[in-house]
Structure 1
Amino acid sequence: MVTITYRDADIELDENVYDPAEDSYLLADVAIDVAQDGMHVLEVGAGTGFVSAVLQTNVDVDLVATEISPFAAECAKRNSVEVIRADMFGCFGSDTKFDLILFNPPYLPTAEDEKIPGWLNYAFDGGIDGREAVDRFLEEFPPYLSDGGIILVLISSLTGIDKVKMHMQGRGLDVEVCNIDRDCFFEELIVLKGTFKASEQL
Protein backbone atom coordinates (compact mmCIF):
# COMPACT_ATOMS: atom_id res chain seq x y z
CA MET A 1 0.00 0.00 0.00
CA VAL A 2 1.09 3.56 -0.76
CA THR A 3 0.37 6.44 1.63
CA ILE A 4 0.36 10.13 0.67
CA THR A 5 0.13 13.17 2.93
CA TYR A 6 -1.77 16.35 2.13
CA ARG A 7 -2.61 19.19 4.50
CA ASP A 8 -1.70 17.05 7.52
CA ALA A 9 -3.91 14.12 6.44
CA ASP A 10 -2.30 10.74 5.72
CA ILE A 11 -4.19 8.94 2.96
CA GLU A 12 -3.72 5.27 2.14
CA LEU A 13 -4.23 4.41 -1.53
CA ASP A 14 -5.47 1.20 -3.12
CA GLU A 15 -4.66 -0.22 -6.56
CA ASN A 16 -8.37 -0.93 -7.15
CA VAL A 17 -9.42 2.68 -6.47
CA TYR A 18 -8.95 5.89 -8.45
CA ASP A 19 -5.94 7.73 -7.03
CA PRO A 20 -6.37 11.35 -5.93
CA ALA A 21 -5.42 13.73 -8.74
CA GLU A 22 -5.73 17.44 -9.51
CA ASP A 23 -9.51 17.32 -9.17
CA SER A 24 -9.32 15.74 -5.71
CA TYR A 25 -6.81 18.30 -4.43
CA LEU A 26 -8.85 21.19 -5.82
CA LEU A 27 -12.10 20.04 -4.22
CA ALA A 28 -10.38 19.36 -0.88
CA ASP A 29 -8.90 22.87 -0.84
CA VAL A 30 -12.23 24.51 -1.62
CA ALA A 31 -14.06 22.34 0.93
CA ILE A 32 -11.66 23.49 3.65
CA ASP A 33 -12.28 27.13 2.69
CA VAL A 34 -16.07 26.74 2.68
CA ALA A 35 -16.70 24.35 5.60
CA GLN A 36 -17.25 25.64 9.12
CA ASP A 37 -16.86 23.89 12.45
CA GLY A 38 -19.92 21.88 13.40
CA MET A 39 -21.29 21.48 9.88
CA HIS A 40 -23.02 18.23 8.98
CA VAL A 41 -21.20 17.21 5.78
CA LEU A 42 -21.82 14.54 3.14
CA GLU A 43 -19.40 13.51 0.43
CA VAL A 44 -21.06 11.60 -2.39
CA GLY A 45 -18.70 9.14 -4.05
CA ALA A 46 -15.81 9.28 -1.61
CA GLY A 47 -13.35 7.11 -3.54
CA THR A 48 -10.24 6.66 -1.40
CA GLY A 49 -11.73 9.07 1.11
CA PHE A 50 -9.11 11.68 0.23
CA VAL A 51 -11.37 14.75 0.20
CA SER A 52 -13.28 13.73 3.34
CA ALA A 53 -10.12 12.79 5.23
CA VAL A 54 -8.40 16.05 4.37
CA LEU A 55 -11.48 18.08 5.27
CA GLN A 56 -12.09 16.45 8.65
CA THR A 57 -8.39 16.75 9.51
CA ASN A 58 -8.55 20.51 9.01
CA VAL A 59 -12.11 21.46 10.03
CA ASP A 60 -14.19 20.10 12.93
CA VAL A 61 -17.11 18.76 10.90
CA ASP A 62 -19.58 15.90 11.38
CA LEU A 63 -18.93 13.98 8.17
CA VAL A 64 -20.30 10.91 6.45
CA ALA A 65 -19.67 9.68 2.90
CA THR A 66 -21.32 7.35 0.42
CA GLU A 67 -19.50 5.17 -2.08
CA ILE A 68 -20.77 2.53 -4.49
CA SER A 69 -17.51 0.60 -5.04
CA PRO A 70 -16.74 -1.97 -2.32
CA PHE A 71 -13.00 -1.46 -2.84
CA ALA A 72 -13.27 2.32 -2.54
CA ALA A 73 -15.57 2.10 0.48
CA GLU A 74 -13.08 -0.12 2.33
CA CYS A 75 -10.20 2.18 1.37
CA ALA A 76 -12.06 5.25 2.66
CA LYS A 77 -12.81 3.46 5.93
CA ARG A 78 -9.11 2.71 6.35
CA ASN A 79 -8.59 6.45 5.99
CA SER A 80 -10.87 7.09 8.98
CA VAL A 81 -13.86 8.22 6.94
CA GLU A 82 -17.33 7.05 7.97
CA VAL A 83 -18.63 5.48 4.77
CA ILE A 84 -21.95 3.95 3.82
CA ARG A 85 -21.85 1.76 0.75
CA ALA A 86 -24.64 3.24 -1.34
CA ASP A 87 -25.42 4.81 -4.69
CA MET A 88 -25.56 8.58 -4.16
CA PHE A 89 -28.36 9.34 -1.65
CA GLY A 90 -30.03 5.93 -1.70
CA CYS A 91 -29.29 5.12 1.96
CA PHE A 92 -30.84 8.25 3.48
CA GLY A 93 -34.39 9.09 4.44
CA SER A 94 -35.79 12.43 3.31
CA ASP A 95 -35.56 13.73 6.89
CA THR A 96 -31.73 13.57 6.73
CA LYS A 97 -30.25 17.02 6.11
CA PHE A 98 -26.71 18.17 5.43
CA ASP A 99 -25.20 21.64 5.61
CA LEU A 100 -22.57 20.88 2.97
CA ILE A 101 -22.58 18.24 0.23
CA LEU A 102 -19.44 17.51 -1.80
CA PHE A 103 -19.36 15.75 -5.15
CA ASN A 104 -16.43 15.00 -7.44
CA PRO A 105 -18.35 13.12 -10.14
CA PRO A 106 -17.14 11.08 -13.06
CA TYR A 107 -17.11 13.91 -15.61
CA LEU A 108 -15.24 12.58 -18.63
CA PRO A 109 -17.42 12.15 -21.74
CA THR A 110 -17.38 8.39 -22.28
CA ALA A 111 -18.59 6.38 -25.25
CA GLU A 112 -19.69 2.79 -24.85
CA ASP A 113 -16.41 1.44 -26.23
CA GLU A 114 -14.41 3.61 -23.79
CA LYS A 115 -15.85 2.11 -20.63
CA ILE A 116 -13.45 0.44 -18.18
CA PRO A 117 -14.26 -3.04 -16.87
CA GLY A 118 -15.15 -3.36 -13.21
CA TRP A 119 -15.73 -0.88 -10.41
CA LEU A 120 -13.17 1.66 -11.65
CA ASN A 121 -15.55 2.64 -14.43
CA TYR A 122 -17.69 4.44 -11.83
CA ALA A 123 -14.81 6.85 -11.22
CA PHE A 124 -14.40 7.86 -14.87
CA ASP A 125 -17.58 7.31 -16.87
CA GLY A 126 -19.55 10.54 -17.21
CA GLY A 127 -21.75 9.26 -20.02
CA ILE A 128 -21.79 10.56 -23.56
CA ASP A 129 -21.80 14.25 -22.58
CA GLY A 130 -19.92 13.92 -19.28
CA ARG A 131 -22.94 15.09 -17.31
CA GLU A 132 -24.77 11.86 -16.59
CA ALA A 133 -23.76 11.61 -12.92
CA VAL A 134 -23.81 15.39 -12.40
CA ASP A 135 -27.35 15.71 -13.74
CA ARG A 136 -28.56 12.82 -11.60
CA PHE A 137 -26.93 14.33 -8.50
CA LEU A 138 -28.58 17.70 -9.18
CA GLU A 139 -31.99 16.06 -9.52
CA GLU A 140 -31.62 14.09 -6.28
CA PHE A 141 -29.90 16.41 -3.78
CA PRO A 142 -32.65 18.93 -2.78
CA PRO A 143 -34.38 16.88 -0.04
CA TYR A 144 -31.05 16.32 1.70
CA LEU A 145 -29.71 19.89 1.80
CA SER A 146 -30.55 22.08 4.78
CA ASP A 147 -31.92 25.63 4.54
CA GLY A 148 -29.06 27.81 3.36
CA GLY A 149 -26.97 24.70 2.71
CA ILE A 150 -24.15 24.50 0.18
CA ILE A 151 -23.10 22.03 -2.48
CA LEU A 152 -19.64 21.92 -4.02
CA VAL A 153 -19.41 20.18 -7.38
CA LEU A 154 -16.20 19.70 -9.31
CA ILE A 155 -16.58 19.68 -13.07
CA SER A 156 -14.39 19.94 -16.15
CA SER A 157 -14.53 22.28 -19.10
CA LEU A 158 -15.19 19.08 -21.08
CA THR A 159 -18.47 18.67 -19.18
CA GLY A 160 -20.19 21.84 -20.36
CA ILE A 161 -19.81 24.34 -17.54
CA ASP A 162 -22.63 26.67 -18.58
CA LYS A 163 -25.11 23.80 -18.85
CA VAL A 164 -24.20 22.56 -15.37
CA LYS A 165 -24.56 26.08 -13.96
CA MET A 166 -27.99 26.43 -15.57
CA HIS A 167 -29.09 23.09 -14.14
CA MET A 168 -27.91 24.17 -10.68
CA GLN A 169 -29.79 27.45 -10.94
CA GLY A 170 -32.88 25.54 -12.03
CA ARG A 171 -32.68 23.55 -8.79
CA GLY A 172 -32.89 26.70 -6.66
CA LEU A 173 -29.19 27.36 -6.16
CA ASP A 174 -27.26 30.61 -6.23
CA VAL A 175 -24.17 29.59 -8.19
CA GLU A 176 -20.62 30.90 -8.13
CA VAL A 177 -17.26 29.65 -9.33
CA CYS A 178 -15.06 28.94 -6.31
CA ASN A 179 -11.81 27.93 -7.94
CA ILE A 180 -10.30 27.06 -11.30
CA ASP A 181 -7.29 24.86 -12.04
CA ARG A 182 -5.86 25.77 -15.43
CA ASP A 183 -2.74 23.61 -15.10
CA CYS A 184 -4.36 20.51 -16.62
CA PHE A 185 -3.07 20.06 -20.14
CA PHE A 186 -6.38 19.34 -21.91
CA GLU A 187 -9.07 20.83 -19.66
CA GLU A 188 -9.92 23.30 -16.93
CA LEU A 189 -11.18 21.99 -13.61
CA ILE A 190 -13.73 24.14 -11.82
CA VAL A 191 -15.48 23.93 -8.46
CA LEU A 192 -19.01 25.29 -8.56
CA LYS A 193 -20.57 26.39 -5.29
CA GLY A 194 -24.34 26.31 -5.05
CA THR A 195 -26.13 27.86 -2.07
CA PHE A 196 -29.67 26.72 -1.32
CA LYS A 197 -32.26 29.19 -0.05
CA ALA A 198 -35.18 27.84 1.96
CA SER A 199 -37.73 29.64 -0.15
CA GLU A 200 -36.31 28.05 -3.32
CA GLN A 201 -36.28 24.40 -2.28
CA LEU A 202 -37.82 22.07 -4.86
Structure 2
Amino acid sequence: MLTVPGVYQPQQDTHLLMRAMCHEGVSPGTEVLDLGTGSGVLALCAARFGARVTAVDIAWRAVLAARANALFARRRIRVLHGDLAGDDRRYDLVVSNPPYVPAPEIAPPERGAARSWDAGHDGRAVVDRICATAPLVLAPQGVLLMVHSALCGTDDTLAALARGGLRAEVTDRELIPFGPVMRARLPWLRDTGIVGRDQDKEELVVIRAEHA
Protein backbone atom coordinates (compact mmCIF):
# COMPACT_ATOMS: atom_id res chain seq x y z
CA MET A 1 0.00 0.00 0.00
CA LEU A 2 1.45 3.33 -1.11
CA THR A 3 1.37 5.91 1.67
CA VAL A 4 1.53 9.61 0.83
CA PRO A 5 2.22 12.52 3.21
CA GLY A 6 -0.96 14.47 3.83
CA VAL A 7 -3.25 11.50 3.08
CA TYR A 8 -4.92 9.72 6.00
CA GLN A 9 -3.10 6.52 6.86
CA PRO A 10 -5.14 3.42 7.80
CA GLN A 11 -5.61 3.24 11.56
CA GLN A 12 -7.88 1.50 14.07
CA ASP A 13 -11.00 3.11 12.66
CA THR A 14 -10.11 1.92 9.16
CA HIS A 15 -9.61 -1.66 10.31
CA LEU A 16 -12.81 -1.61 12.35
CA LEU A 17 -14.77 -0.51 9.28
CA MET A 18 -13.01 -3.05 7.09
CA ARG A 19 -14.02 -5.81 9.48
CA ALA A 20 -17.64 -4.68 9.29
CA MET A 21 -17.49 -4.52 5.50
CA CYS A 22 -16.23 -8.10 5.29
CA HIS A 23 -19.35 -9.22 7.19
CA GLU A 24 -21.64 -7.73 4.52
CA GLY A 25 -21.12 -10.47 1.95
CA VAL A 26 -19.43 -8.31 -0.68
CA SER A 27 -19.18 -10.40 -3.85
CA PRO A 28 -18.67 -10.04 -7.61
CA GLY A 29 -21.13 -7.50 -8.94
CA THR A 30 -21.73 -5.70 -5.64
CA GLU A 31 -21.81 -1.94 -6.28
CA VAL A 32 -19.68 -0.28 -3.60
CA LEU A 33 -19.09 3.42 -2.89
CA ASP A 34 -16.20 4.48 -0.65
CA LEU A 35 -16.77 8.07 0.51
CA GLY A 36 -13.56 9.83 1.51
CA THR A 37 -11.36 7.01 0.30
CA GLY A 38 -8.01 8.42 1.41
CA SER A 39 -5.33 5.95 0.33
CA GLY A 40 -8.03 3.62 -1.03
CA VAL A 41 -7.56 0.74 1.40
CA LEU A 42 -11.30 0.08 1.86
CA ALA A 43 -11.94 0.37 -1.88
CA LEU A 44 -9.19 -2.16 -2.55
CA CYS A 45 -10.61 -4.55 0.02
CA ALA A 46 -13.99 -4.46 -1.72
CA ALA A 47 -12.37 -4.83 -5.15
CA ARG A 48 -10.57 -7.98 -4.01
CA PHE A 49 -14.00 -9.54 -3.40
CA GLY A 50 -14.91 -8.71 -7.00
CA ALA A 51 -17.09 -5.69 -6.26
CA ARG A 52 -17.55 -2.84 -8.71
CA VAL A 53 -16.04 -0.01 -6.70
CA THR A 54 -16.31 3.76 -6.90
CA ALA A 55 -14.08 5.74 -4.56
CA VAL A 56 -14.43 9.48 -3.97
CA ASP A 57 -12.26 12.01 -2.18
CA ILE A 58 -12.22 15.79 -2.11
CA ALA A 59 -8.41 15.92 -1.84
CA TRP A 60 -6.51 15.49 -5.09
CA ARG A 61 -3.57 13.97 -3.25
CA ALA A 62 -5.84 11.22 -1.90
CA VAL A 63 -7.35 10.63 -5.35
CA LEU A 64 -3.91 10.17 -6.87
CA ALA A 65 -2.79 7.90 -4.02
CA ALA A 66 -5.90 5.71 -4.36
CA ARG A 67 -5.47 5.50 -8.14
CA ALA A 68 -1.82 4.51 -7.73
CA ASN A 69 -2.68 1.86 -5.15
CA ALA A 70 -5.36 0.43 -7.42
CA LEU A 71 -2.85 0.31 -10.27
CA PHE A 72 -0.18 -1.39 -8.17
CA ALA A 73 -2.72 -3.93 -6.88
CA ARG A 74 -4.02 -4.50 -10.42
CA ARG A 75 -7.59 -3.79 -9.35
CA ARG A 76 -10.11 -1.80 -11.34
CA ILE A 77 -11.48 0.99 -9.17
CA ARG A 78 -13.20 4.15 -10.38
CA VAL A 79 -11.58 6.92 -8.30
CA LEU A 80 -13.27 10.31 -8.54
CA HIS A 81 -12.29 13.73 -7.30
CA GLY A 82 -15.33 15.25 -5.69
CA ASP A 83 -17.46 15.98 -2.68
CA LEU A 84 -19.40 13.02 -1.28
CA ALA A 85 -21.29 10.88 -3.81
CA GLY A 86 -20.21 12.61 -6.98
CA ASP A 87 -22.85 11.12 -9.31
CA ASP A 88 -26.42 9.78 -9.46
CA ARG A 89 -25.67 6.07 -9.11
CA ARG A 90 -27.26 3.86 -6.46
CA TYR A 91 -25.04 1.51 -4.47
CA ASP A 92 -25.46 -1.80 -2.65
CA LEU A 93 -22.88 -0.81 -0.05
CA VAL A 94 -21.63 2.64 0.98
CA VAL A 95 -18.66 2.81 3.34
CA SER A 96 -17.16 5.89 4.92
CA ASN A 97 -14.51 6.79 7.46
CA PRO A 98 -15.15 10.55 7.45
CA PRO A 99 -13.41 13.36 9.38
CA TYR A 100 -14.97 13.33 12.84
CA VAL A 101 -12.54 14.86 15.36
CA PRO A 102 -13.92 17.91 17.21
CA ALA A 103 -11.70 20.92 16.58
CA PRO A 104 -11.36 24.45 18.00
CA GLU A 105 -11.97 25.92 14.53
CA ILE A 106 -15.63 26.23 13.52
CA ALA A 107 -15.05 25.47 9.85
CA PRO A 108 -13.16 22.37 8.73
CA PRO A 109 -9.82 23.06 7.02
CA GLU A 110 -9.81 23.34 3.25
CA ARG A 111 -6.32 21.92 2.78
CA GLY A 112 -3.56 20.04 4.58
CA ALA A 113 -3.47 16.75 6.45
CA ALA A 114 -5.96 17.93 9.11
CA ARG A 115 -8.65 18.00 6.44
CA SER A 116 -8.94 14.23 6.84
CA TRP A 117 -9.79 14.36 10.55
CA ASP A 118 -10.89 17.84 11.72
CA ALA A 119 -14.67 18.36 11.48
CA GLY A 120 -15.71 21.53 13.28
CA HIS A 121 -16.56 22.15 16.95
CA ASP A 122 -18.79 19.10 17.30
CA GLY A 123 -16.99 16.82 14.84
CA ARG A 124 -20.11 16.49 12.70
CA ALA A 125 -19.42 18.75 9.71
CA VAL A 126 -19.04 15.78 7.35
CA VAL A 127 -20.90 13.11 9.34
CA ASP A 128 -24.17 15.04 9.10
CA ARG A 129 -23.76 15.48 5.35
CA ILE A 130 -23.21 11.75 4.90
CA CYS A 131 -26.34 11.05 6.95
CA ALA A 132 -28.29 13.33 4.60
CA THR A 133 -26.72 11.89 1.45
CA ALA A 134 -26.97 8.17 2.28
CA PRO A 135 -30.70 7.75 1.55
CA LEU A 136 -30.15 9.25 -1.90
CA VAL A 137 -27.31 6.94 -2.96
CA LEU A 138 -28.33 3.62 -1.40
CA ALA A 139 -30.05 1.03 -3.56
CA PRO A 140 -33.37 -0.26 -2.16
CA GLN A 141 -31.60 -3.06 -0.26
CA GLY A 142 -28.37 -1.10 0.16
CA VAL A 143 -26.37 -0.71 3.36
CA LEU A 144 -24.37 2.20 4.78
CA LEU A 145 -21.40 1.47 7.04
CA MET A 146 -19.80 4.46 8.75
CA VAL A 147 -17.22 4.65 11.51
CA HIS A 148 -16.67 7.59 13.83
CA SER A 149 -15.81 8.49 17.40
CA ALA A 150 -18.53 8.47 20.01
CA LEU A 151 -17.23 11.93 20.95
CA CYS A 152 -19.10 13.41 17.99
CA GLY A 153 -22.42 11.89 19.05
CA THR A 154 -23.50 8.34 18.30
CA ASP A 155 -27.14 9.04 19.14
CA ASP A 156 -27.07 12.14 16.93
CA THR A 157 -25.97 10.01 13.99
CA LEU A 158 -28.64 7.38 14.59
CA ALA A 159 -31.28 10.11 14.81
CA ALA A 160 -30.06 11.86 11.65
CA LEU A 161 -30.17 8.62 9.68
CA ALA A 162 -33.64 7.86 11.01
CA ARG A 163 -34.86 11.27 9.83
CA GLY A 164 -33.73 10.24 6.36
CA GLY A 165 -35.83 7.09 6.49
CA LEU A 166 -33.02 4.71 7.36
CA ARG A 167 -32.99 2.07 10.08
CA ALA A 168 -29.66 2.42 11.87
CA GLU A 169 -27.80 0.67 14.67
CA VAL A 170 -24.34 0.39 16.18
CA THR A 171 -22.86 -2.95 15.13
CA ASP A 172 -19.34 -2.70 16.55
CA ARG A 173 -17.41 -0.71 19.14
CA GLU A 174 -13.80 -0.40 20.16
CA LEU A 175 -12.17 1.59 22.96
CA ILE A 176 -8.77 3.01 21.97
CA PRO A 177 -6.23 5.34 23.62
CA PHE A 178 -6.18 8.92 22.42
CA GLY A 179 -3.88 9.41 19.45
CA PRO A 180 -1.53 12.35 18.80
CA VAL A 181 -4.26 14.67 17.47
CA MET A 182 -6.54 14.14 20.46
CA ARG A 183 -3.68 14.43 22.96
CA ALA A 184 -2.53 17.69 21.39
CA ARG A 185 -5.93 19.34 21.93
CA LEU A 186 -6.89 17.75 25.25
CA PRO A 187 -6.95 21.08 27.13
CA TRP A 188 -9.57 22.45 24.70
CA LEU A 189 -11.54 19.19 24.65
CA ARG A 190 -11.68 19.16 28.45
CA ASP A 191 -12.50 22.86 28.76
CA THR A 192 -15.46 22.40 26.41
CA GLY A 193 -16.66 19.27 28.21
CA ILE A 194 -16.31 17.04 25.16
CA VAL A 195 -13.81 14.91 27.08
CA GLY A 196 -13.87 14.17 30.80
CA ARG A 197 -11.07 15.41 33.04
CA ASP A 198 -9.61 11.93 33.56
CA GLN A 199 -10.56 10.47 30.19
CA ASP A 200 -7.71 9.11 28.10
CA LYS A 201 -9.58 6.88 25.65
CA GLU A 202 -12.27 7.27 23.02
CA GLU A 203 -14.84 4.82 21.75
CA LEU A 204 -15.03 4.14 18.04
CA VAL A 205 -18.39 2.96 16.69
CA VAL A 206 -19.46 1.37 13.45
CA ILE A 207 -22.95 2.39 12.41
CA ARG A 208 -24.93 0.28 9.96
CA ALA A 209 -27.99 1.74 8.22
CA GLU A 210 -30.45 0.57 5.56
CA HIS A 211 -33.82 1.67 4.24
CA ALA A 212 -36.53 1.11 6.83
Q: How many residues align?
A: 183
Residues 177-186 or 23-32, more deviating: 177-186
Q: Which amino acid aligns with 2:176?
A: D
TM-score, normalised to structure 1's length?
Answer: 0.84
Which of 146, 149, 159 is matched with 2:142 structurally? 149
Residues 45-54 or 179-188, more deviating: 179-188
Residues 167 and 210 in structure 2, CA contact (< 8 A), matched pair in contact too: yes
Residues 178 and 193 in structure 1, CA contact (< 8 A), matched pair in contact too: yes
Q: Secondary structure at the match of 1:121?
A: helix
Instruction: Show CA shifts across 1:59-84 (max 9, x none).
Output: 22111111111111000011114210
Q: Distance in 2 between matches of 1:113 and 1:192?
A: 25
Structure 1 residue aligned with 2:154: 161
Q: Secondary structure at the match of 2:37?
A: coil
Q: Distance in 2 between matches of 1:184 and 1:36?
A: 31
Residues 48 and 76 in structure 1, CA contact (< 8 A), matched pair in contact too: yes
Residues 99-108 or 181-190, more deviating: 181-190
Q: Which amino acid aligns with 1:143?
A: L
Structure 1 residue aligned with 2:164: 171
Deviation at 1:113, TM superposition (A): 8.4
Q: Distance in 2 between matches of 1:65 and 1:39?
A: 14
Structure 2 residue aligned with 1:29: 19
TM-score, normalised to structure 2's length?
Answer: 0.80
Structure 2 residue aligned with 1:118: 111
Instruction: Show CA shifts across 1:74-104 (max 9, x none).
Output: 0001111421000112x303xx111111111
Q: Does 1:92 align with 2:87?
A: yes
Q: Which amino acid aligns with 1:153?
A: M
Q: Distance in 2 between matches of 1:114 and 1:138?
A: 19
Deviation at 1:121, TM superposition (A): 2.7
Q: Distance in 1 between matches of 2:160 and 2:154?
A: 10
Residues 131 and 157 in structure 2, CA contact (< 8 A), matched pair in contact too: no
Q: Secondary structure at the match of 2:84?
A: coil
Q: Does 1:53 align with 2:44?
A: yes
Q: Which amino acid aligns with 2:42?
A: V
Structure 2 residue aligned with 1:42: 33
Residues 108 and 115 in structure 2, CA contact (< 8 A), matched pair in contact too: no
Q: Distance in 1 between matches of 2:94 and 2:18?
A: 12
Unaligned 5+ runs, structure 1: 1-10, 198-202
Instruction: Show CA shifts across 1:91-149 (max 9, x none).
Output: 303xx111111111100011228976733232011111011101011112222111021
Which structure has the bigger radius of gyration? 2
Q: Distance in 1 between matches of 2:107 and 2:53?
A: 34
Residues 69 and 119 in structure 1, CA contact (< 8 A), matched pair in contact too: no
Q: Distance in 2 between matches of 1:114 and 1:173?
A: 28
**Percent of pairs with identical residues:** 28
Q: Secondary structure at the match of 2:147?
A: strand
Residues 178 and 190 in structure 1, CA contact (< 8 A), matched pair in contact too: yes
Q: Distance in 2 between matches of 1:115 and 1:137?
A: 15
Q: After superposition, where does 1:62-81 map in structure 2 within 5 Å?
A: 62-80=52-70, 81=77
